[in-house]
Chain A
């Protein structure tokens, strides 16, 4: 398949060269499988095999893009697509800067992130996995939901500056299992991100759900008083907050446009807790990385915060062109963010609950529907969901109704950080709005942040 894709791209590129076009041709192929569960049944079982071809034509400072869904048999239609982009670009308006077209110096082929076993899981295997996850857990009131998503993603690129091409092939899987109470309306969750088949561990999800259900079924829920709490965030909540930092934090282009809580003057300054070290690390396969960006820049670990000190912004090529910065190898589908673990010896929620504590701890595994209230201040808001617990100082455990947190990321990852767990975990944040684009972050399993105020406490689920 690889050879056929590359041959097709080379033929299209040769066609564009012959026509005198300046074009970047981008290829995306996905083979996606999704089994969705709700109310303890398979509510949807689907698969899509889609090939997208995108041609971006350049003419001096002008550029225009044409995208089509196609298949490899339709070479004439693809050529027409390239013609169309070349025609469009005549009528575009020049940019105020010179856009850079990548000059690839050699072929770059990366299939290390592909595991055929994971990509080719059968319907029967997906169903068996979920049956194992939910073993002995479903009841009349307690229903299973979730997804088993897996697939193959191929990205390839060629352009008229050379005959060289890039080709990336990955496999990925995202599993979410939720048990929800029909009448009481609470939900608990267990999730897994997989890059290869051996990453899949349904027994772990079964154990996690069993533990949470014990508390949720037996303990009466409470509305928490509005106050400050020492909060332990689970990995899903942490990953979501780091993802927002990726958006309104260290992105150079967005900073220049006023959508960041960081400034250029802050480079080299201590902005976050010294316990926070955050990198973009494409060497870690579990993040579904791109080891070379679309400009042909090799990607290596890139520090963002070292012991709380801000190391600098990341720049994709277009922003770098516009704002006169150096591109940093971040013209990619997504970054490979890794928040390093700390020193707290803790591996599981069971460990956390068992640990002695001097004060009450609010455990928030997941933050639902997070949004930015004020980007300049890093102010975000979101609600807890999926199995929060109030771990009382006396060792008992209370089940709280959901709460809302409206806080600055500077505060959350600032001096109030008490500890990070030594163990980290890949957390899959893919949402596949349009084309499949698997994304995972590596984050500590738990982070404790003291003295954070909650802004709203529900009186029901």
Chain B
């Protein structure tokens, strides 16, 4: 197969293509189980295989994909023909940033392949969790397991050949209940990074049991709590919502294709302009954010991106100043040309496709916030006069240029004069992105830092769902509108 692919790539080069690559997925498997109130509602497995072909011709992309490999030449011709037509409407001919020719292999850390575990064991895990969640106050209990494993072979016309084997494990527990008014409330636990590998070994019964107990307890506190007041307060975001704040208002805002207007017709743009790099005060001096695809054991670490670029650790915001973006080979060239200066030295290695039949686009790797020196969560609370601690993503809505946002959380704890007082229900916070990050007044230390996994980031047309990570500490922001 590899030889055939190489022959086809050479053939298209002969027809005038300036670049050709192929992602061949010999196997992509998924196993998903969902238990809802003791009912195993979904027991699903899937297997896919196929190729995706990308062709650059006269500065324009063409793409085609199929699971039917019986006529590979025809698929390459289709991709070439798609590029030929696209070349009739080119405003900025696509150029690709330089890269090295690479022969490599990558395997994500996995001790026990979840696809070797029997269905009976997986069901038993969910049944045990369901039992633990079946407590007073809980009306709906949901638990799931989601395993993915994909083998990808990447070949391009610049001589690279990369083989990857990636295993993903996602799992969550959720409980909902109704308060005296009949309104629903929820509390969740999403499995994040535990240790150095993510195979079946990360389904650790102790961790899940502890968290099951905690979310049931916290749900019951919410059910009898007062509503979150409408107020301006300091908000302390725990990693369970801090990850999403980072995702939506740093991550998506700094995707270079968005900045350059490539998502304007759908997902949206970004308030960031090319002039802002090196200048814009994105946040307070306490904010250092990075796109770190080298972080061990996270869905945002995948060895090599779908341009064949090795994983990198890129600073996005350095002590509050915007310095970097989430980039791939095409966009850095276009950005530098449009800005008439070299903002980006090379590709940031963040071009990824969700599967063989989708085209790679700029995607987040691990968008992390460095831990700070404002101590533990207790230290931050003790240092807060009038605040609220927020956790658990319940609702998120962001302006089309990521300039403003509205988040709803599962639980809030009011803080008065350095002490936690009451739990409140229906907490929300909102704000303007830049103003909000500039109000960052405390960043928790390593003890507050957690890596959260995201399994459902949507972007692009046709839409692609991507997996990634966020390593974030607890953070405090001042003078934020809550309860709206």
Stretch with Cβ within 8 A of A (4 or more), from B176-184, B189-197, B317-325: B176-184
Residues of A close to B269: CB separation below 8 A: 180, 185, 187
Which residue, of B87, B88, B260, has the highest number of chain A Cβ atoms within 10 A?
A: B88
Which residue, of B63, B70, B398, B406, has the highest number of chain A Cβ atoms within 10 A?
A: B406
Residues of B close to A377: CB separation below 8 A: 183
The answer on a CB contact under 8 Å between B395 and A373 is yes
The answer on a CB contact under 8 Å between A180 and B66 is no
Tell me whether A66 and B45 are in contact in the complex, defined as CB-CB below 8 angstroms, given that A42-B89, A42-B90, A73-B68 are known contacts: yes
A7 interface residue (CB < 8 Å to B): no
Tell me whether A92 and B89 are in contact in the complex, defined as CB-CB below 8 angstroms, given that A147-B265, A369-B400, A382-B397 are known contacts: no
* Chain A residue at minimum C-beta to C-beta distance from B177: A258
The one of A66, A93, A124, A433 that contacts B127, using a Cβ cutoff of 8 Å = A93
The one of A67, A69, A368 that contacts B45, using a Cβ cutoff of 8 Å = A67
Instruction: Please count how many residues in chain B sit with their CB below 8 Å of the partner chain's CB atoms.
Output: 85
What per-residue 1/0 map shows which CB atoms of A156-167 lie under 8 Å from chain B? 000000000000
Tell me the minimal C-beta distance from A367 to chain B in angstroms: 9
A334 interface residue (CB < 8 Å to B): no
The answer on a CB contact under 8 Å between B484 and A65 is no
Which residue, of A70, A93, A97, A182, has the highest number of chain B Cβ atoms within 10 A?
A: A93
Residues of B close to A37: CB separation below 8 A: 89, 265
The answer on a CB contact under 8 Å between A88 and B43 is yes
Residues of A close to B91: CB separation below 8 A: 39-41, 143
Tell me the minimal C-beta distance from A102 to chain B in angstroms: 18
Scan residues 25-43 of chain B and give those whose CB is less than 8 A from a CB of chain A: 35-43
Residues of A close to B462: CB separation below 8 A: 32, 34, 46, 149, 432
A214 interface residue (CB < 8 Å to B): no
Residues of A close to B42: CB separation below 8 A: 65
A24 interface residue (CB < 8 Å to B): no
What per-residue 1/0 map shows which CB atoms of B79-94 lie under 8 Å from chain A? 0011101111111100
The answer on a CB contact under 8 Å between B82 and A123 is yes
Residues of A close to B458: CB separation below 8 A: 433
* Chain A residue at minimum C-beta to C-beta distance from B82: A45
The one of A46, A143, A263, A368 that contacts B268, using a Cβ cutoff of 8 Å = A368
A372–B180 Cα gap in the complex (Å)?
21
Tell me whether A91 and B396 are in contact in the complex, defined as CB-CB below 8 angstroms, given that A63-B43, A145-B261, A433-B458 are known contacts: no
Tell me whether A68 and B68 are in contact in the complex, defined as CB-CB below 8 angstroms, given that A44-B359, A458-B399, A458-B404 are known contacts: no
A318–B120 Cα gap in the complex (Å)?
23
The answer on a CB contact under 8 Å between A145 and B184 is no
A222 interface residue (CB < 8 Å to B): no
The answer on a CB contact under 8 Å between B261 and A180 is yes
Residues of B close to A376: CB separation below 8 A: 178, 181-184
The answer on a CB contact under 8 Å between A50 and B66 is yes
What per-residue 1/0 map shows which CB atoms of B88-118 lie under 8 Å from chain A? 1111100000000000000000000000001
* Chain B residue at minimum C-beta to C-beta distance from A85: B45
A344 interface residue (CB < 8 Å to B): no
Which residue, of A38, A40, A45, A66, has the highest number of chain B Cβ atoms within 10 A?
A: A45
Stretch with Cβ within 8 A of A (4 or more), from B46-54, B307-315, B416-424: B46-54
The one of A48, A66, A185, A459 that contacts B64, using a Cβ cutoff of 8 Å = A48
The answer on a CB contact under 8 Å between A383 and B463 is no
Residues of B close to A92: CB separation below 8 A: 40, 43, 119, 123
Tell me whether A178 and B85 are in contact in the complex, defined as CB-CB below 8 angstroms, given that A64-B44, A385-B400 are known contacts: no
A51–B63 Cα gap in the complex (Å)?
18
A34–B266 Cα gap in the complex (Å)?
14
Tell me whether A369 and B397 are in contact in the complex, defined as CB-CB below 8 angstroms, given that A92-B40, A322-B39 are known contacts: yes
Tell me the minimal C-beta distance from A402 to chain B in angstroms: 6
Tell me the minimal C-beta distance from B456 to chain A in angstroms: 10
* Chain B residue at minimum C-beta to C-beta distance from A372: B395
A343–B38 Cα gap in the complex (Å)?
50
A381 interface residue (CB < 8 Å to B): yes
Main secondary structure of the interface of B (DSSP, over half): mixed
B461 interface residue (CB < 8 Å to A): yes
A149–B266 Cα gap in the complex (Å)?
13
Tell me whether A45 and B63 are in contact in the complex, defined as CB-CB below 8 angstroms, given that A65-B44, A145-B261 are known contacts: yes
Residues of A close to B35: CB separation below 8 A: 93
B282 interface residue (CB < 8 Å to A): no
Scan residues 21-59 of chain A and give those whose CB is less than 8 A from a CB of chain B: 32, 34-51
The answer on a CB contact under 8 Å between B396 and A69 is no
* Chain B residue at minimum C-beta to C-beta distance from A49: B66
The answer on a CB contact under 8 Å between A371 and B66 is no
Residues of A close to B39: CB separation below 8 A: 95-97, 322
A105–B437 Cα gap in the complex (Å)?
62
Residues of A close to B176: CB separation below 8 A: 257-258
The answer on a CB contact under 8 Å between B65 and A127 is no
The answer on a CB contact under 8 Å between B86 and A42 is yes
The answer on a CB contact under 8 Å between A257 and B266 is no
Residues of B close to A432: CB separation below 8 A: 462-463
Residues of B close to A130: CB separation below 8 A: 89
A368–B265 Cα gap in the complex (Å)?
11
A92–B123 Cα gap in the complex (Å)?
7
A317–B440 Cα gap in the complex (Å)?
50
A232–B43 Cα gap in the complex (Å)?
45
The answer on a CB contact under 8 Å between A66 and B44 is yes
The answer on a CB contact under 8 Å between B260 and A45 is no
A191–B403 Cα gap in the complex (Å)?
25
B207 interface residue (CB < 8 Å to A): no
The answer on a CB contact under 8 Å between A185 and B183 is no
* Chain B residue at minimum C-beta to C-beta distance from A256: B140
The answer on a CB contact under 8 Å between B461 and A369 is no
The answer on a CB contact under 8 Å between B184 and A43 is no
A406–B432 Cα gap in the complex (Å)?
16
B249 interface residue (CB < 8 Å to A): no
Tell me the minimal C-beta distance from B42 to chain A in angstroms: 7
The answer on a CB contact under 8 Å between A43 and B61 is yes
The answer on a CB contact under 8 Å between B359 and A46 is yes
B13 interface residue (CB < 8 Å to A): no
A68–B44 Cα gap in the complex (Å)?
11
B144 interface residue (CB < 8 Å to A): no
The answer on a CB contact under 8 Å between A402 and B399 is yes
The answer on a CB contact under 8 Å between B395 and A383 is no
Scan residues 234-256 of chain A and give those whose CB is less than 8 A from a CB of chain B: none
The answer on a CB contact under 8 Å between A41 and B90 is yes
* Chain A residue at minimum C-beta to C-beta distance from B130: A93
Residues of B close to A50: CB separation below 8 A: 65-67, 357
Residues of B close to A91: CB separation below 8 A: 118-120, 123
B386 interface residue (CB < 8 Å to A): no
* Chain B residue at minimum C-beta to C-beta distance from A436: B462
B327 interface residue (CB < 8 Å to A): no
B60 interface residue (CB < 8 Å to A): yes
A23–B83 Cα gap in the complex (Å)?
43
The one of B62, B66, B465 that contacts A48, using a Cβ cutoff of 8 Å = B66
Tell me whether A381 and B40 are in contact in the complex, defined as CB-CB below 8 angstroms, given that A47-B82, A455-B484 are known contacts: no
Which residue, of B42, B400, B428, has the highest number of chain A Cβ atoms within 10 A?
A: B400
The answer on a CB contact under 8 Å between B40 and A95 is yes
A385–B406 Cα gap in the complex (Å)?
16
A32–B91 Cα gap in the complex (Å)?
25
A-B CB contact pairs (8 Å), 29 listed: A36-B461, A39-B262, A42-B85, A43-B61, A45-B61, A50-B357, A64-B44, A64-B45, A66-B45, A67-B44, A67-B46, A69-B67, A71-B68, A73-B68, A88-B43, A91-B123, A178-B264, A257-B36, A258-B184, A369-B397, A371-B408, A376-B182, A376-B184, A383-B399, A383-B404, A404-B397, A433-B458, A455-B430, A455-B484
Name 19 extra pairs, CB < 8 A, besides A64-B45, A371-B397: A38-B264, A45-B82, A50-B67, A67-B46, A69-B49, A91-B119, A131-B89, A147-B265, A178-B265, A180-B264, A187-B265, A368-B399, A371-B396, A373-B394, A373-B406, A383-B400, A385-B400, A406-B484, A456-B404
User: What are the 4 closest A-B residue pairs judged by CB atoms, nearest first?
Assistant: A145-B265, A42-B86, A91-B119, A67-B46
